[in-house]
Structure 1
Amino acid sequence: MASIKQVQVTFDCADPGRVARFWCEVLGYVPSPDGFACSDPSGGGPRLYFQRVPEKKVVKNRVHLDVRVGTGLVGDERLAALQTECARLMDLGAVCVRVLYADEENESCIVMQDVEGNEFCLD
């Protein structure tokens, strides 16, 4: 049995170019020549592909990306880093859905939506 070597994450969307440009900015990825994909220039992260579909998004994603901006940070320092990134992404067209504050079990994270309403978390 062959092992899987790579994973591509595919987004259904109305405007693939717009969504691809957003995620390239978020992750520091580079766009493909056709504008429908973007990839990690270091080769470490998965390729993202954006495919046009006729239907609109109507329910919450069953799978989402966690954008890891607070790795290794805790408490107020972590929350400040998340909020700074949240503001940057809102300038790109993202929407802040809610801030989940740290409790006894989990550190803070921020739930957001991209330019077409796909949920993701700043973690």
Structure 2
Amino acid sequence: MGLTGAEISEAVRDAGWRYVLAGLSTAVSVPSARDAGVVAQRVLSVADEVAVDIRPGRVRLALAPVTAREIDLARRISELVRDLGYEPSPADAQVLEIAIDTLDAARIVPFWRAVMDYVDGPRPPEVVDPRGQGPSIWFQQMDTPRPQRNRMHIDVSVPHDEAPRRIEAALAAGGVLRSDEAAPAFWVLADAEGNEACVTTWQGRD
């Protein structure tokens, strides 16, 4: 039997990682690209399976799938990062995916796989960028058409303790809360024109 979301979340909380969208994520703020390269090189020296995304001023790190081994690696990486004088930043551990509502996923998945040059992902129906650059796309089964609602919305998976701040900021920026019935798994928000986005966490899914 695998670890629950609650077990994973608690195991990495003090290490500065968060459980987001079936994986472990954190980020490290650095002053320069050179420093980012140093952090990435040191991390890869102890865990070459970690996904490393270097951006100006930041190194994002991810581990998936999550077992006891990945939890141990996350802790070791955090120790290494702290030895370098930096601190893992879980608030930056955001993972973006695109969700498309559909009546027949099998009918439209091939189009999205082709037009995006994506491949099938580990959580079907889902397609992912084999280059690791773009967000994954997953397909939400609908029972009836929703002609008066956009058939696309954005899912933003965030650390569970980042969700309240993110929702508050969205509402302050003119957004509206469409539904919190499934919270804390997800909250449905919309902009002033009705375009929807869901803020999601691991909680409420076990």
For the aligned pair, the TM-score class normalised by the smaller chain equals 0.3 to 0.5
Q: Structure 2-normalised TM-score?
A: 0.28
Bigger helix share:
2
Q: Structure 1-normalised TM-score?
A: 0.44
